[in-house]
């Protein structure tokens, strides 16, 4: 993901990035079952180097600091970031939306931040930005009580720009809106410069520094809970509540 954002950032032919999921879910969040990861994609070389160095000092540092670098790449992305929520957005999948500039949601989506339920802390700056995006009351309900929200509720509170029908036509509908918007963003030769200038005013240096500081604070709390064993204990409790497969 870091490599993809860096490539999009440096490619002058790319005006914006669209982030979406594959299949029925946008993102189901971290694997809380304790199973080994099922994905096969390798970390980019820079992340491999970071993990190799940090793992010599603290086994919990390697993954959390690679997350710091990934979220920093999103925070510092100078072009519009459009998020197409094609289905349920859970945990990290939901908090990813905090860094989106324009968000479209499928009508099949739901939004769930069950951090308290699983004994973890919110991440991707959401401990600060969720209340800014949806209001403190809704944010508290979602994070403290793990309350699920519908696309309509997220649209009413201002997190989602537009709700679109789910299915094969969802992403093409999003891309059509993105293209139409970009065509109104000035003459082709100055379009990218204008987009970067405008986003740089909306999310200025002070904002980026605040987000990166919040990102590091959240990841330090995650490392603390990993070291203390709290997260592992809560995971065992959660697994005990899961129905046994016959």
- The helix or strand, by DSSP H or E, that contains position 112, with its residue range, turns out to be strand 111-112
pTM comes to 0.83
Helices (H) and strands (E) in the chain — how many of each? 12, 6
Above 80 in pLDDT, residue 66? Answer: no
Above 90 in pLDDT, residue 84? Answer: yes
Q: Determine the pLDDT at residue 239.
A: 58
Q: Determine the pLDDT at residue 39.
A: 43
Above 70 in pLDDT, residue 235? Answer: no
Give the angle 114-117-118 at the CA atoms, nearest 5°.
90
More confident site: 61 or 214: 214
Residue 200 in 3-state DSSP?
Answer: helix
Q: Determine the pLDDT at residue 62.
A: 54
Query: Considering the chain, what percentage of its residues have pLDDT values greater than 90?
Result: 61
Above 60 in pLDDT, residue 90? Answer: yes
Above 60 in pLDDT, residue 60? Answer: no
Condensed to tens digits (0 to 9), the pLDDT of residues 125-168 reads 999 999 999 999 999 999 999 999 999 999 999 999 999 999 99
Condensed to tens digits (0 to 9), the pLDDT of residues 182-218 reads 998 878 788 999 999 999 999 999 999 999 999 999 9
Q: Determine the pLDDT at residue 127.
A: 94
Above 50 in pLDDT, residue 93? Answer: yes
CATH number of this structure's domain 2-241: 3.90.226.10
Pairing of strands 17-20, 89-90: unpaired
Q: Which residues of 229-240 are buried (b: 16+ CB within 10 A; e: fewer)?
A: eebeebbeebee
Backbone angles phi, psi at 205, to 5 degrees: -60, -40
Above 70 in pLDDT, residue 224? Answer: yes
Average pLDDT for residues 210-233, to the nearest whole number? Answer: 80
Above 80 in pLDDT, residue 23? Answer: yes
């Amino acid at each position: 993901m870091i490599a993809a954002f860096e490539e999009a950032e440096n490619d002058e032919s790319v005006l914006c990035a669209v982030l979406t999921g594959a299949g029925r879910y946008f993102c189901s969040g971290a694997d809380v079952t304790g199973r080994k990861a099922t994905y096969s994609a390798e970390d980019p070389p820079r992340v491999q180097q970071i993990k190799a160095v940090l793992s010599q000092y603290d086994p919990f540092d390697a993954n959390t600091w690679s997350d710091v670098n990934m979220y920093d790449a999103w925070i510092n992305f100078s072009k519009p970031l459009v998020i197409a929520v094609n289905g349920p957005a859970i945990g990290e999948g939901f908090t990813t939306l905090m860094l989106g500039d324009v968000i479209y949601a499928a009508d099949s989506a739901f939004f769930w931040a069950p951090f308290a339920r699983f004994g973890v802390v919110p991440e991707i700056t959401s401990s600060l930005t969720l209340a800014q995006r949806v209001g403190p009351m809704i944010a508290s309900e979602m994070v403290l009580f793990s309350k699920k929200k519908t696309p309509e509720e997220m649209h009413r509170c201002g997190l989602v720009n537009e709700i679109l029908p789910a299915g094969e036509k969802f992403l093409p509908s999003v891309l059509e809106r993105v293209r139409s918007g970009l065509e109104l963003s000035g003459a082709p030769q100055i379009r990218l410069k204008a987009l970067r200038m405008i986003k740089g005013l909306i999310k200025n240096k002070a904002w980026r520094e605040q987000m990166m500081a919040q990102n590091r604070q959240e990841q330090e709390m995650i490392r603390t809970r990993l070291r203390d064993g709290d997260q592992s204990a809560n995971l065992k409790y959660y697994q005990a509540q899961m129905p046994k497969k016959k």
